[in-house]
Structure formats: C-alpha cells, structure tokens
C-alpha cells in the first residue's frame, strides 16, 4: 500500500493521512467489490444465459410450428455466415447486404 500511495503523491495533507484514508477505506471498498459487485456480475451473466436460451427455445418452437427443422435452419445460417465472411469482392458484399435488407422486410 505504501508503494501504491507513492504512485500518486498527495497535494495537501501528506503521506500519513493518505495512508490512513487508504487503510480505512480498504475494507469498505473490498466489501463493495466482493459482496455486491462480483455477485452482481455473476448473476448478470447467468440471467443473460437464461434469456439467450429462452429466445433459442422460442425460435425452435416457432420454426417447428411452421414445419421447419431448427437444426437445418441453424446449419444454413452458419453456412451463409461463413460464405459472407469469405466474400471480399465489393459487388458480392453489396448483394449480401441487399439480401439482408430483403430478409428484414
């Protein structure tokens, strides 16, 4: 902590006061990070994963309701994305972008 406090010298009170403030605030900052911040981030990640799975399940249910195979849709989507990634020609890219607009409509 002494080395860390030396990285940004104080502009008024002195090293002893700064060190005391660091020592007093350290438990509070540690508590906020470990008891509030980190669990919240873990919960957020879990929630995002749950939402992603719900959306995927919804897509699969709707695809099946329309007589489509979700696995075939996913394979086709991957193939199209791979082809687009390999495309470097400007005209071909424009055609892909036009197709994207048509699909969105």
Residue 65 buriedness (CB in 10 A; 0-12 / 13-18 / 19+): exposed
Domain span at residue 86? 69-105
Instruction: Give the per-residue pLDDT at 54.
Output: 87
pLDDT tens, residue by residue, 81-104: 787 777 777 787 788 788 878 878
**Predicted TM-score (pTM) of this structure:** 0.36
Specify whether 28 is located in the same domain as 76: no
Whether residues 52 and 73 share a domain: the answer is: no
Q: DSSP class of residue 12?
A: S
Looking at the structure, tell me whether residues 14 and 45 fall in a common domain. Answer: yes
| 21 and 59 assigned to the same domain | yes
Could you read off the pLDDT of 31-67 as tens digits, one per residue? 777 777 777 777 777 778 888 888 888 888 888 888 8
- Total domains in the fold of the chain: 2
Is-contact 92 86, C-beta < 8 A? Answer: no
């Amino acid at each position: 902590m002494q080395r860390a406090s030396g990285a940004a010298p104080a502009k008024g009170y002195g090293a002893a006061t700064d060190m005391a403030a660091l020592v007093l605030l350290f438990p509070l900052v540690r508590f906020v990070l470990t008891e509030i911040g980190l669990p919240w981030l873990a919960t957020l990640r879990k929630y995002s994963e749950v939402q992603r799975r719900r959306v995927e399940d919804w897509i699969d249910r709707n695809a099946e309701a329309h007589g489509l195979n979700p696995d075939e849709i996913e394979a086709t989507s991957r193939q199209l994305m791979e082809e687009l990634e390999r495309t470097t020609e400007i005209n071909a890219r424009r055609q892909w972008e036009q197709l994207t607009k048509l699909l969105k409509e």
